[in-house]
Amino acid sequence: MVTPYLPYPLHSGGQTRSYNLIKHLSKKHQITLFSFVRDSKENQHIKNLTPYCQKVVTFIRGKTWNPKKILFASLTPYPFLVANYYSQQLKATIKKELKNNSYQLVHVECFYLMPNIPKTSLPKILVDQTIEYEVYRHYTQTLPWYLTPIKVFYYFDVLKIFLWEKHFWQTADQACAVSEDDRNLMKKHCPKTKFEIVKNGVSTNNLARKRFKKNPWPTILFGVANFKWMQNREGANILLKDVWPKIKKELPETRLWIIGRHAPDFYNQYAQDKNVTVKEANDIAYFYQKAWVLVAPIKSGGGSRTKFFEAMAAKLPIVTTLKGIEGIKIKNNQEAIVVNTNQELAQATISLIKSPERAEKIGQHAQKLVIEKYSWKESAKELSRVYEQVVKKQQAASSQQ
């Protein structure tokens, strides 16, 4: 298995996903894990993965805006996203590993790692956690007009992302999406390709067990998230600048929590506001269980939100957008509240804060939904089935030759 991060600690949705899938898959499969880390300090967390992996090998990715990476993206057909994760060392190490040991398949998380996979007869499974070109296209569209020269360059890079993403969906022995919405979009671009779904999920043990009482004052949560991810920053910015002022005007006693990895790096300017708390998260259950409502003005789709599953497991009601809820099959106003505009986000949140009984009922329905349909154990079963299906297909093809 090859991942763009070390799947521990659980600071991002991707890390949470990979860690839990590996944990459950290890009961039936032997896994060698190759992962990128930002620096050598992250290697201290390898010990949290060794109970589930027969071997863990890491490679330092380094800083994103590296002149060598920019030049690579400028002079090759690859987009900057691929350049950021391209490693001859990783490719050579995987090639040596496959040559010297017996494996049945290669699992790659995220298309932009595919160029690191050497030529091999083993089947390759690609799981795209989100539709990357959609995310970067939306980000480029939201850049201000005075950055038009940069936008032109970005749009060209988005085109390269789209073409390579589509290419690897078609050339992988099996491509997988994490939601039905993503699979439909992938199928639209590659109608002849068969896509499987390996859903995101949640570990309910820690979150469903009540440990903390609700705050005595109304508390809105944005998080628990990784604010390096542009979708989370966009959502937090909309909440802070457009939605939060409307709520605060109507309900002055309300507090706002912006919680997650790197949150202080981006929102420390709000530290002087006594009604706004910006901090990293240690015990995520504390924030999900203490808050009254999770508000997420997500404007771009793709994947499904780990923070939503976690909030739902903790019975925390969610107010979000159609794009935000993509990938989670809910009934509107039953397991979550889904609206279209920022004004509606504010009004729905105010209404929910004023109706604690309704908020409690939505939280209960949400928890029931994720426990029944979105467990990591079931997701790992889906992925294991895909593994076995691909291996059997290859064995059958080999026996006919």
* Phi, psi for 343 (deg, rounded to 5): -60, -45
Q: Would the pLDDT of 304 be above 70?
A: no
Note the pLDDT tens digit of each residue in 347-373: 999 999 999 999 999 999 999 999 999
> Looking at domain 204-373, which of 1.10.730.10, 3.40.50.2000, 3.10.105.10, 3.40.630.40 is its CATH number?
3.40.50.2000
State the Cα–Cα distance between residues 279 and 273, nearest whole angstrom. 13
Alpha-carbon Rg for the chain, nearest whole angstrom, is: 22
Helix (H) or strand (E) holding 226: strand 219-226
**Contacting residues for 172 by C-beta, under 8 A, at least 6 apart:** 108, 114, 124, 125, 126
Q: Would the pLDDT of 111 be above 80?
A: yes
Mean pLDDT within 108-123: 97
Q: Would the pLDDT of 192 be above 60?
A: yes
Mean pLDDT within 275-295: 95
Give how far Cα 326 sits from Cα of 7, 121, 318, Å: 24, 36, 13
Cβ burial, residue 104 (10 Å; 0-12/13-18/19+): middle
CATH fold of the domain at 2-201+376-400: Rossmann fold (3.40.50)
Residue-level length of the chain: 401
Note the pLDDT tens digit of each residue in 311-328: 999 999 999 999 999 889
Note the pLDDT tens digit of each residue in 57-73: 999 998 999 999 999 99
Q: Would the pLDDT of 375 be above 70?
A: yes
**Domain pair 2-201+376-400 / 204-373, same fold:** yes
Q: Would the pLDDT of 303 be above 60?
A: no
Mean pLDDT within 145-151: 93
Instruction: Note the pLDDT of residue 164.
Output: 98
Domain ranges of the chain: 2-201+376-400, 204-373
Prediction pTM value: 0.91
Q: How many Å separate Cα 25 from the centre of its chain?
A: 19
Instruction: Note the pLDDT of residue 329.
Output: 92
